[in-house]
């Protein structure tokens, strides 16, 4: 019996699957060669495993192995993708994107670029029609995430991709929260970012899909690894781990998505029927299976999270921990600041069960009632 709280923050990160760790271990001690040292056995051995991993990851995303580049994570992948923008270009993105998309876009704007950030509808959705309306003659790139990590909205990236393709505009999607959780179709996508640690793989490894023929500019200069897209010795244990993680997702994703959606739906029903003054944020359908985001009237989310001692929860994006105050995403979908400050994000994952949902409903009833009593006093 352990006293560890139940982990309900799987959008922030996921634990590395034990099967992934097992696959990685020989790559720290035994198969340690530098994959760029092709003149020796050790280097070639590492390079072979690197390329095998690239093949299996490419197969999962239904793209070509030479279209996959390894990076240090989705933050780096997003930065590399957006680095192709040049002063005078116009880019379209949305208000609910991750900081690692918005911050490079802000920098691009300061250096003479034009940026349109679309406002989503009340469920966080960006319609292809809204992208179409925002197009300008100098629009070079559209960047819309595949799914949102706070409210779980799944974006219509297939439609947006078709639109961009027809207009000759590049389409980038940050699929960090969607990859390995739901199918993501890259048929009309030019660039796509993903990260190992959101798929039960290791941290500090990620990738960027770049459609063949798409010109990108490296962010760092160096030894020219990864066809000069990302210089630096490749993190071979990380890549092998991410490939193992992807393989597990490929095998288990369908069943796991259905299992998580059932727990999530039970949790939502329990909360809305047993607690008053509750609003569920985000869409009912087309939502990440493990995501729930709920606002409690007259409750401060930070106090609520502290009160829910049996759980590890978060009020929003961990990457926004530098950003204090109301969530940008909740504000964009129309919540008032007090509503937003009373919201928690529940991120279900592989370790969670229906029992955890029942425990959380019980604890929420108790803690929400107590906090409301205190605030009324």
DSSP 244-286: HHHHHHHHHHHHHHHHHHHHHHHHHHHHHHHSSSEEEES-SSS
Cβ-based nearer residue to ligand PMP, 75 or 139: 75
Burial class (CB in 10 A: 0-12, 13-18, 19+), 227: exposed
How many whole angstroms from its chain centre is CA 308? 25
Cβ-based nearer residue to ligand PMP, 151 or 357: 151
Site string for ligand PMP, 193-232 (x = CB under 6 A): --x----------x--------------------------
Among 176, 247, 291, 293, binds ligand PMP (CB under 6 A): 176
Site string for ligand PMP, 291-320 (x = CB under 6 A): ----------------------------x-
DSSP 28-46: HHTS---TT-TTSHHHHHH
Among 79, 100, 143, 291, binds ligand PMP (CB under 6 A): 100
Cβ-based nearer residue to ligand PMP, 80 or 164: 80
Cβ atoms 225, 231 nearer than 8 A: yes
User: Binding of ligand PMP at residue 74 (CB under 6 A)?
Assistant: yes
Cβ-based nearer residue to ligand PMP, 230 or 357: 230
How far apart are alpha carbons 161 and 48 in whole angstroms? 33
Of the residues 16, 164, 249, 319, only one is catalytic, namely 319
User: Binding of ligand PMP at residue 89 (CB under 6 A)?
Assistant: no
- C-alpha torsion sign, points 208, 241, 243, 30: positive
Q: How far is the CB of 193 from ligand PMP (least distance, A)?
A: 7
Q: How far is the CB of 145 from ligand PMP (least distance, A)?
A: 6
Judged by DSSP in three states, 377 sits in: coil
Number of residues in the chain: 377
Among 104, 113, 149, 180, binds ligand PMP (CB under 6 A): 149
How far apart are alpha carbons 329 and 317 in whole angstroms? 9
Give the pair of three-digit tokens for residue 31: 């198969």
Closest-approach residue to ligand PMP (CB): 73
| Active site annotation includes 319 | yes
Cβ atoms 296, 278 nearer than 8 A: yes
Residues binding ligand PMP: what is the number (CB under 6 A)?
A: 13
Catalytic residues: 319
Give contact residues for ligand PMP (rule: CB under 6 A).
73-75, 98, 100, 145, 149, 174, 176-177, 195, 206, 319
């Amino acid at each position: 019996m352990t006293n560890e709280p139940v982990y309900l923050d799987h959008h922030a990160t996921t634990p590395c699957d034990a099967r992934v760790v097992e696959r990685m271990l020989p790559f720290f001690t035994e198969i340690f060669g530098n994959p760029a040292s092709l003149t020796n056995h050790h280097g070639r051995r590492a390079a072979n495993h690197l390329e095998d991993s690239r093949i299996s990851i490419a197969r999962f995303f239904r793209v070509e192995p030479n279209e996959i580049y390894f990076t240090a994570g989705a933050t780096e992948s997003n930065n590399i993708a957006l680095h192709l923008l040049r002063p005078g270009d116009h880019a379209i993105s949305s208000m609910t994107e991750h900081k690692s998309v918005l911050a490079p876009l802000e920098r691009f704007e300061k250096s003479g670029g034009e940026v349109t950030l679309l406002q989503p509808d009340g469920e966080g959705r960006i319609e292809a029609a809204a992208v179409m309306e925002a197009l300008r003659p100098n629009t070079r790139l559209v960047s819309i995430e595949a799914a949102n990590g706070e409210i779980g909205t799944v974006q219509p990236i297939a439609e947006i991709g078709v639109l961009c393709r027809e207009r000759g505009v590049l389409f980038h999607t940050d699929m960090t929260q969607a990859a390995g959780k739901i199918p993501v179709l890259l048929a009309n996508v030019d660039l796509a970012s993903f990260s190992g640690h959101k798929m039960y793989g290791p941290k500090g490894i990620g990738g960027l899909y770049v459609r063949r023929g798409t010109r990108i500019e490296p962010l760092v200069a160096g030894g020219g690894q990864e066809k000069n897209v990302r210089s630096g010795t490749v993190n071979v244990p990380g890549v092998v781990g991410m490939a193992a993680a992807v393989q597990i997702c490929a095998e288990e994703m369908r069943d796991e998505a259905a299992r998580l959606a059932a727990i999530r739906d039970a949790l939502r029903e329990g909360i809305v029927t047993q607690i008053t003054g509750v609003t569920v944020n985000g869409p009912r359908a087309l939502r990440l299976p493990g995501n729930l985001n709920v606002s409690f009237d007259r409750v401060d989310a930070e106090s609520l999270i502290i009160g829910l001692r049996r759980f590890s929860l978060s009020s929003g994006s961990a990457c926004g921990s530098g950003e204090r105050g109301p969530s940008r995403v909740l504000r964009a979908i129309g919540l008032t600041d007090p509503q937003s400050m009373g919201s928690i994000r529940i991120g279900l994952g592989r370790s969670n069960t229906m029992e955890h949902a029942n425990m959380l409903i019980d604890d929420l009833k108790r803690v929400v009632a107590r906090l409301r009593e205190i605030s009324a006093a």
